[in-house]
Structure 1
Amino acid sequence: MTSNREEIYDLAVSFAGEHREYVERTVRSCERLGLRVFYDRDMNNGWWGKSFIREQREVYSSRTRFFVPFISTEYLAKPIPMDEFSAAMMTAVKQGDGYVLPVLMDDVQVPPDLLHPHIHYLRAKDYSPELLAKQMHARVRQAENVGQQAREVGEVVHEALNRRLPKVVPGDFSKYEELQIVFDYFASQFQTVAPLLRPRGFICTVNRTQERISIRIEKRSEIVYSLDIYKGGSMGDDKLTFGLDHHRSFATGINGWTEPYFDVEADIPKLKMMDLSVLGSFGGSEREFTKEELFDALWERIVDRLEQR
């Protein structure tokens, strides 16, 4: 494919293959009105039903006055986050970049936090391809009249991917959902590593209920380590609590607890851990972990204890 660096387009379109018929009719109508449109099928190298950017990054060197994503349920499902270009364009839509003219297909429900309140968009169900082409023609001519220059596609991608965004807790983050995820993860990981101890002379059993994970490690029928992880408890139902040696009738104390939270700097869920002794601290110390890091720390402590037997 030859470079498109000298090409200037009025429009560049992106869409899911399921809507090719509508998009192609729109493209041809735009061309009949004298617009130059970057359209994958015209590039003559087999981009059937695919996002042209995903297939040919050379198009980044093209310049166009407007990028037109035909946003559908399929479009949202396929390119994001797999395709950095489409993700960047959707970021531009969210930020209200006037370079992007979104067309909403069918009755697609775009997340309310995705469309900038000042973004201008059209719904395909309100326009035939021919009428939509007339709208685009008017927008392009308006841009020409006010001196709006064509922009290089790659420049817009770079800006969208690197623009600073607010660091906030996601609206769908739930402490209780994350607590269940962590609880399930710990149960699964302990069940996975338990058989590894048998060749070393230790028998590890892991019993799980809806509210409790019980780990018991024996050597020659003697319990040499026990740990119970409770969902909820006296520290609050949004925490996991840890108890050592609860196999003994007199041992009921808490040796630590952990609480999920969302780390906005790292952009991931994490755990705040108050360690009273379950990880080896005495007197209490607060630490932060991912669930993977906390499991590793628990396992390292267990191995240390077993090596002392």
Structure 2
Amino acid sequence: MTYKYDVALSFAGENRNFAEAIATALQAEKVEVFYDEFNPANLWGEDLSVKLREIYFTDSRYCIIILSDYYLEKVWTVWELRNAMEKSIQEKGEAYILPVRLDGFSGDVPGLPNTIVYVSAESTEPEKIVDLFLQKIGRKKQDEGRKLNKSNFSKSYIPKLRRSFSDQEKKKFLRESFEHIVFAIGEFVRETKNEYPTFEFEVEKITTRKVLFTLYNEGNILTSLKIWINGQMWGDEIWMLHGTHIDVSEDKSTNEIISVEEHEGELKLNSMGMLAFTNNVDFMSPQETAEYIWEAICSEFSY
């Protein structure tokens, strides 16, 4: 199916600066974005109840919903959300709504299933959402090529200066990494479902720090994967446990521990489990970690 927009943005007016930064950055990457101020002529004189349904139900491949304390207070954002949820139901399990919890918003969103994976962001981090969306549609940022070409003409070598990271920075990186990993694994299971009609899955968001994936084939359980942030031993870490019998409430057993470490002036994730030794993995980005975890659990049932 051909869509008019790659993505539509839904947001409260109080969060316009954040939404506009996302829309502008995506437009610069040649992504077709519905953002109201990009399309004033198309909206002029239209019945908004009809026009917005077209945009959020028919015309858009994805919908980024920016949730905040203001979002559910607005008439038109609730209307947009209602149409987006109806479209999501029609998509039958394929990702459509991409919810963003802004500035620590943690309230319930009526009608939005708690099985949908959220991403959290601060108002100062629109680029985080831009990068995630480009990854979702399989597109690289255009400026990567330009930066590479520019480096060819560098007149001097600029070294990386070592810096130390505060505990607060490490905690924030760990939390964002956890959210990215959960989001990425959610995409992996949806892609698998698209490939194999007999494959099914369930995603249970137990808390904001713990998620359970359960995978089925022909109605039979393949494996479960519990991922959570554990702070009981050496500080906050990402723990994972996979197998056919998972106790959701018991968090003392794990197959894998992912910690945050400083490496060459950056924060990276490092595996401390047995899989790390057998697979020869080292310092990883959140995306590489998600791929590593997915490969590990798929080895249980794939051939």
Band of TM-score, shorter chain: 0.3 to 0.5
TM-score in terms of structure 2 length? 0.42
Q: Could you say which structure has the larger radius of gyration?
A: 1
